[in-house]
A and B are shown apart, each in its own frame.
Chain A
Amino acid sequence: MKLKTALLGAACALSFAPAAFADRGTDGEVKFTFPQAVSIMNPFLSSGTKDVYAASLVLEPLAGFDADGVIIPKLVTEIPTLENGGISADLTSITWKLLPDLKWSDGSPVTADDAVFTAAYCMDPAGGCAQLSKFDGVAKVEAVDASTVKVTFTGPKPNPYTAFVGALSPILQKAQFAACQGAAAPTCTDPNNMPIGTGPFKVTGFTVNDTVTLAMNENYRDPAKPAFASAVIKGGGDAEGSARAVMETGEFDYAWNTQIPPDSQASMTAAGKGEFVVAFGTLVERIEMNMTDPDPALPEGERATAKHPHPILSDIKVRTALSKAIDRQILSDVGYGAGGKPTCNVVPAPDAWASDNTGCIAQDMEGAKKLLDEAGWVPGADGIREKDGKKLHILYQSTVNPIRQDFQALVKDWWTELGVDVELKAIDPSVFFGGDAGSPDTFQKFYADVEMYANNSDGTDPETYLSQYQCVNAPSPENQWQGENMNRYCDPAYDAKVKVLTTTVDVAERQKIAKELNDMVTKDSMTVIPLVHRGTLSAHSNTLGGVKINAWDSEMWNVADWFRVK
């Protein structure tokens, strides 16, 4: 609550104090610190947020998202819609009109060819483009004229704002990257580290995994911006050190990703040099239920596959009881402080897309016990519930991470109180998320009863995200254990609804369907137990004005508007 008020206050101060805006380059240097250093300035070759955010100071997409997740034009005159004719009636193409007189930082004009090239660059099969999914369903990108880009899709595309939209899909300069397409992409060290862009800043120096120095772009489209003459991004260290450098010593203006324990947050805020801001995107820490039997006695190839339903968790009463026993508010407070809030949704934001499902927030231990009794699991002599001589035993895995281990311990206490015998397991994150089909410990193989990790939807529209829970996406030996439906949740009704979503154009209707899908995997089936809606905690100095935290695009989406508070 406090944070929201603070944010509102900052926004008000901004709108009432236009005098605070200086001319271009009059406010000196703005200093960023990232706990993970920047490796590369080309978002197409890196999926690391640190790299994408750093690049967003330089490279820009045609359109981006504002703090509320609403699409806004950046390099184009307006957002193409069905109404203005920018999107074809059959939903198979979208046409963007570039701003007139747009220039790269080297002074050359930005043309539609640059966008065409960017698409070709990312879609090259040998390039290993990290943002290839942004070009999903794109049939061709063409330059209608020098300032008009037309993207044609293979079929109707209800959400065409993927290619060239958001910090993950910026426009590269064709002249600079022409020789870097395909297999040559990774070897173009200089362009990758010092790309020429249209953003408010240009790169003047780059040391890998250390420092990026930037100067204002003389050719930026708004002659009054940016207020800062230069910028520097220093990387490395840890979240604590980054936060300290802003909040306690005041050496830096902005620290991204300063997720530190709640008590440290409070003591650093007390120093009075800066404030923490939280970007609540769609990241949800959740417990996923395994709907298949991970019993090691089963033959390899059948273990944890749809052939063998889970002997305990197949019963919705058990799943519901496990969810009811959890106090999400405590988890959020202990783990994330201001950087988290309890949730019952897999799609927790934006508000328009989030279900009003809050039934799980209040802990209900008695209700949970009753459910287990009903399900036939009765307490045995040792306090552990049994049914047909079988103990209620659950293997609960997650990654090695202090907060997750705290969560595991807390949840284990609650479940033990419920009469469940809980076994904990923590796996190295690089193994857990590594996707090695040969390892038994990947989150896809899911050789456990429940597992906990965090996942999010990419952008505001959760279509792709929700479609992960279709039957066909279950990891199995047939697809080398790839696939995002970790639970092996399989409901034909869900698959059918996803199909409807992919063809629905009307946003309100899409939002309604998304909420229904969200409810199906959460409160209706209890396949996924969302725990905490996690934000990205960042810190900025009190002397830095204009910051509007944004979870839907780069946090530096409006860096051109930032200024020094005097």
Chain B
Amino acid sequence: MLTFTLRRLLLAIPTLFVISLVIFLLVDLAPGSPMSEIPLTVPPDVRRKMIEALGADQPVFVRYVLWLRQFFWVEPATLFDGWFGTNWAGGEQRILSWQSRAPVFTIIGQRIPQTLTVIGTAYLVGILIALPIGIYSAYRQYSLFDQLGTLFAMIGFSVPTFFSGTLIIIIFAVTLGWFPTKYDTNLHVTDWASFVKQLQQMAMPVMTLGLANAAVISRYMRSSMLDNMGMDYVRTARAKGMSERVVVLKHVLRNSMIPVVTVIALGIPSIFGGAIITENLFGVNGIGAALIGAIHASDLPMVQTLAFIFAVLIVSFNLIADVLYGLLDPRIRYD
């Protein structure tokens, strides 16, 4: 297992380099320029000077090498300096957002907490709803509960979040007035009252995303349970005279969880990626909102850095999912 992990990690390095180059070229070749955000009242020569000041007029190769250096040397060094008070970075230029002129990693640092809180909670809530629904739906296949579960999953799958989110806003914020429509990122939980406030402002985005997440995972859970429910070893367990609870929760569930855990692990990078639409809708202003904002403004350093971080996360969680699979399923050995 260890050699397998190490080999995969080594293999990931060239993969990520290629990915970074591809992302850089794609982002660069994508139509649009930071100029398009500048109002028409700004004369052309001023525009040109603004672009020059950003360094956006440099050849793509130069910018790529600079970005690599900044990402792999300056940023880690700056982080290290921040922790230990050293001066490895030597005041070198960090990756700056073209849009806000602030260091990209500072922005990411500001945004990670609300993304993890909101999107992470939504993911957790989704899983917690999905597992029982999936298990019971499979156990009572074609029952009324299963039909309702299927309907729920279909709604979660097919209704886009901008629609379900707006609906939730109209019901819970406009009509009932229970929850705020704009997430307050400056709210710090210090006491019970602020904790309640935090729960209130998380409620609607978590509902919106939780529904979508639960829909996906409950289907995986259900089909995995169904796959295992008909297996001979389940019959064996029944023949042994085990109670239904043991049969379902121990024998069937534990085996059914293997693919589901993998799916859940593979979904984790999307938590870090944020939820572009939901974050925008509720003003959560996490990573997803940062990405879409940067794309709109053709903020290349921001888009490039975020896209690459997602790539790293996806590659890592693929590896983690593989390792988990090996740990959970004794039949699988990576030697």
Contacts and interface: CB of A to CB of B under 8 A. Distances in A.
Interface string B94-128: 00110111110011001100000000000000000
A434 B100 contact: no
Nearest to B55: A186
B102 to A, nearest CB: 5
Interface in B22-65: 31-33, 35-44, 46-54
15 contacts: A37-B289, A129-B46, A186-B101, A187-B96, A209-B285, A210-B285, A236-B289, A237-B282, A237-B283, A271-B174, A434-B33, A436-B33, A456-B40, A457-B41, A464-B43
Nearest to A240: B166
B169 interface: yes
B46 A213 contact: no
B293 interface: yes
Interface of B: 31-33, 35-44, 46-54, 93, 96-97, 99-103, 106-107, 110-111, 169, 173-174, 177, 180-182, 184-186, 279-283, 285, 289-290, 293, 296-298
A482 interface: yes
Given A40-B101, A132-B43, A482-B48, 13 more contacts: A40-B99, A45-B101, A193-B100, A207-B285, A208-B110, A211-B186, A234-B283, A236-B293, A251-B180, A251-B181, A252-B182, A435-B33, A456-B41
Which 6 A-B residue pairs are closest in the complex by CB-CB distance?
A: A128-B53, A430-B32, A458-B41, A39-B100, A434-B33, A210-B285
Given A189-B101, A189-B102, A238-B280, A431 B54 contact: no
Contacts of B181: 241, 244-245, 249, 251
Interface string A36-67: 11011000010111000000000000000000
A536 to B, nearest CB: 13
Interface of A: 33, 36-37, 39-40, 45, 47-49, 125-130, 132-133, 183, 185-187, 189, 192-193, 205, 207-211, 213, 232, 234-238, 241, 244-245, 248-249, 251-252, 271, 428-436, 439, 455-458, 464-465, 482-484
Contacts of A435: 33, 35-36, 44, 47
Contacts of A186: 53-54, 96, 101
B106 A189 contact: yes
B45 to A, nearest CB: 8
Contacts of B41: 133, 455-458, 465
A207 B182 contact: no
Given A37-B293, A241-B281, A482-B44, A125 B49 contact: yes
Which has the most chain B C-beta neighbours within 10 Å: A132, A192, A208, A439? A208
A556 B298 CA distance: 28
A83 to B, nearest CB: 30
A430 B280 CA distance: 20
Contact of A434 (B36, B43, B102, B280): B36
Contacts of A237: 182, 280-283
Contacts of B107: 208-209
A185 B99 CA distance: 13
A399 to B, nearest CB: 10
A248 B180 CA distance: 11
A26 B109 CA distance: 35
A439 B35 CA distance: 13
Contact of A47 (B38, B100, B101, B102): B38
B280 A236 contact: yes
A267 to B, nearest CB: 11
Contacts of A236: 279-280, 283, 285, 289, 293
B173 A249 contact: yes
A130 B38 contact: yes
